[in-house]
Amino acid sequence: MNRAKTTLRHLRLLNSLHSTRLYPQVPIPFSHLSPSLSKQPHAYISIPTYQILSFSTQPTSILELIVDSDWSKELEHKLSNTNPKLTHETVVYILKKLDKDPKRASKFFNWVCDKNGFRPSSAIYSLVLRIFANKESVKQFWATITKMKELGFYIDEATYLTVLGVFRNSKMGNDVTAWTQLYNKMVKENEMSDVVKKVVGVVTRSDWGREVERDLGEMEILLSDGFVLRVLKELRGYPLKALSFFKWVGGCLGYEHNSVTYNAVARVLGRDDSIGEFWSMVKEMQGLGHEMDIDTYIKISRQFQKNKMLKDAVELYELMMDGPYKPSAQDCGVLLRTISVGGNANMDLVYRVVDKHEAAGNVLTKSDYDGIHRALTSVGRFDEAEKIVETMRKLGHEPDNITYSQLVFGLCKARRLEEASKVLDLMEANGCIPDIKTWTILINGHCAANEVDKALFCFANMMEKNCGADADLLDVLVNGFISQNRIEGANQLVVEMVNKVRLRPWQATYKSLIQRLLEKRKFEEALNLLHLMKKHNYPPSPEPFVHFISRFGTVEDAGDFLKALSGKEYPSISAYLHVFKAFFQEGRDSEAKDLLFKCPHHIRKHEAICSLFGSSKSSNAAAA
């Protein structure tokens, strides 16, 4: 019954007014649319680093107040009346929503800490540092660092690297230096670092058991949220051991886990080899009234998507959309795109995401529709994909190069190449000029189908329409030629595109083609490509040349290659040594000696060369 309702809902989504057909296709039958250790006494001191506060059921209401008003005493009064206490999860949610507005984020953070009595965790401080790491709010960044040091917080490696990258990209050289020096100093001075290392060593050296618990119990540990977080981060490569440590800490007298530590262990468990434990932990969190914060969700969801754990990514999205800290519309679009790439989209997962997104009162954007359309075309469900386009049109979203390119890709994948080519004609008729990406998809589709000559015809057609080629497209064509063992044709194409169109091929294109030419014993053609590489400021690719020359080449070939290696008068000593050694390894000693005879005086007299040939005397004799 539920599945029937879902199917009807999807059919309503696809239903729209008739419009100009986007798809030049043969009719296709319509497809139906389609999911603990016991507590033990330990004499440890508990040092809580954040205050347990009441749960906010309306984080969006607080956010709306902050975004819609200038910061003032009146706003602070409204916020206090709305919700006098804020949880860790709510503060993270609001800060993440303000990450593009450092000034407002700073005002909120100062208010919640100074006047609301909230005690931030190290996770929140790390988030704040990432928000303030820019030229406009760098003063707040360093002020936050000072506050962290006063409270005894440390900077974790992930935050250090993220901020360092931002400073470097923003050309903030002085801040890069100061930030690196500060981090290195804090790592060196941190009193807990040695204890953390010892704990991690005890936990990782063997399977969890009474011996591990005994060794931990004999250590002098001051338990705090910060300490637990540091150990969990160090154990992120050992998720099940991290879970055992987490449960053991929860059994220590005087310490109780909170949303901060629960979110931390969830991040560690959110991977393929501990996915069952992850979902059990999420259920445990919910049972205790803890919520997954939005920053934790984003990191775990990215990990799931990166590792193709799409079912878990969708289930996690559904979980968050049912809670108070809903992912953004952008997160929905990213998830839809992830599901749709790779050519085997699971449409049930796509529609589950769409259902949750719309159930929260959201309206699908052009990007969202593109995600659905991409998924449908990638699995060959063109009739349903066309209905999506009709729905988009009805809502004012005309198909663009993205929409058409997805259709071209799907048709090429289905080996419906003629229809894919006609799509570009239809694009022009509808006033949408195909760009280089659309042409590349079409030409790549022909090459993948071993229709290289037709791909060349499409390429010529593209050039006639004044759409310039780029390195990506050239690489596609070269690979197409190589797949048919048409190496000379590939070489001719590259040379013409460089000399006549002034195109700069990718380094990988050069290297691949050089390797293939040398396999065909086309030394002169390969050497010409090496000269072109040098003109384009690519480092030379000597290995295939040396391998070829040592086995099949002449002394003259070796000399020409060495001259081509360097823009200077002579290449380096190491280049000569490489060639000489290769000749010796192939047993071609006479060629090595002949080459040495033709070398300049400073090469023949060089210590390394003399040593290779036996001695300075023997080298002179050989060169005499």
Residue 579 CA to residue 109 CA, distance in Å, equals 64
What are the CA-CA distances from residue 419 to residues 29, 412, 445, 499 (Å)? 17, 8, 12, 34
Q: Which of 37-51, 191-205, 241-255, 257-271 has the highest mean pLDDT?
A: 257-271
pLDDT at residue 242 greater than cutoff 70: yes
Q: Is 487 helix (H, G, I), strand (E, B) or coil?
A: helix
Residue 568 confidence class, pLDDT cut points 50, 70, 90: low
Q: Is 4 helix (H, G, I), strand (E, B) or coil?
A: helix
Degrees to nearest 5, angle at CA 482 with 479 and 485: 160
Backbone angles phi, psi at 231, to 5 degrees: -65, -45
Q: Is 288 exposed, middle or buried (0-12, 13-18, 19+ CB in 10 A)?
A: exposed
The dihedral of CA 548, 554, 560, 565: what is its sign?
positive
Higher pLDDT, 128 or 82: 128
Token pair recorded at residue 312: 């878990």
Q: How many CA atoms lie within 13 A of 564 on its CB side?
A: 25
Higher pLDDT, 333 or 33: 333
Give the pLDDT mean for 465-482. 94
pLDDT at residue 85 greater than cutoff 90: no
For 271-286, write each residue's pLDDT tens digit: 999 999 999 999 999 9
Count other C-beta atoms under 10 Å from residue 266's C-beta. 24
Nearest Cα neighbor of 378 from 347, 343, 426 is 343
Q: DSSP letters along 398-441, please? A: ---HHHHHHHHHHHHHTT-HHHHHHHHHHHHHTT----HHHHHH
Residue 218 confidence class, pLDDT cut points 50, 70, 90: confident
Give the pLDDT mean for 30-36. 28
Length of the chain: 624
Nearest Cα neighbor of 84 from 119, 54, 47 is 54
Do 216 and 202 contact (CB within 8 A), yes or no? yes
Give the chain's mean pLDDT.
84
Give the pLDDT mean for 38-52. 36
pLDDT at residue 30 greater than cutoff 70: no
For 259-271, write each residue's pLDDT tens digit: 999 999 999 999 9
Give the pLDDT mean for 593-598. 90
Residue 569 confidence class, pLDDT cut points 50, 70, 90: low
Q: DSSP letters along 556-583, please? A: HHHHHHHHHH-SSSS--HHHHHHHHHHH
Q: How many separate helices (H) and strands (E) can be counted in the chain?
A: 36, 2
Nearest Cα neighbor of 216 from 43, 389, 452, 73 is 43
| Contacts of 623 by beta carbon, 8 Å cutoff, 6+ apart | 596, 597, 604
Token pair recorded at residue 594: 């002949």
489's enclosing H/E stretch is helix 487-501
- In CATH, the architecture of 58-189 is Alpha Horseshoe (1.25)
Give the pLDDT mean for 47-63. 53
State the pLDDT at residue 513.
96
Give the pLDDT mean for 516-532. 95
| Contacts of 46 by beta carbon, 8 Å cutoff, 6+ apart | 223, 224, 254, 255, 256
Higher pLDDT, 53 or 110: 110
Degrees to nearest 5, angle at CA 584 with 579 and 589: 105
What are the CA-CA distances from residue 303 to residues 138, 283, 328 (Å)? 30, 20, 17
Would you give the DSSP letter of residue 519?
Answer: H
Higher pLDDT, 510 or 254: 510
Do 213 and 254 contact (CB within 8 A), yes or no? no
Residue 83 confidence class, pLDDT cut points 50, 70, 90: low
Q: Which of 64-78, 186-200, 299-313, 569-583 has the highest mean pLDDT?
A: 299-313
State the pLDDT at residue 428.
92
Q: How far is CA 427 from the centre of its chain?
A: 32
For 361-419, write each residue's pLDDT tens digit: 888 888 888 888 988 998 888 998 999 899 888 888 999 999 999 999 999 999 999 99
Degrees to nearest 5, angle at CA 450 with 449 and 453: 115
pLDDT at residue 177 greater than cutoff 50: yes
Residue 319 CA to residue 321 CA, distance in Å, equals 6
| Contacts of 246 by beta carbon, 8 Å cutoff, 6+ apart | 228, 232, 257, 261, 265
Lowest mean pLDDT: which of 188-197, 333-342, 498-507, 574-583?
Answer: 188-197
State the pLDDT at residue 567.
62
Count other C-beta atoms under 10 Å from residue 537's C-beta. 9
State the pLDDT at residue 23.
46
Degrees to nearest 5, angle at CA 235 with 231 and 239: 130
Give the pLDDT mean for 250-258. 86
Do 69 and 75 contact (CB within 8 A), yes or no? yes
Residue spans per domain, the chain: 58-189, 191-291, 469-532, 541-615
State the pLDDT at residue 65.
85
State the pLDDT at residue 191.
53
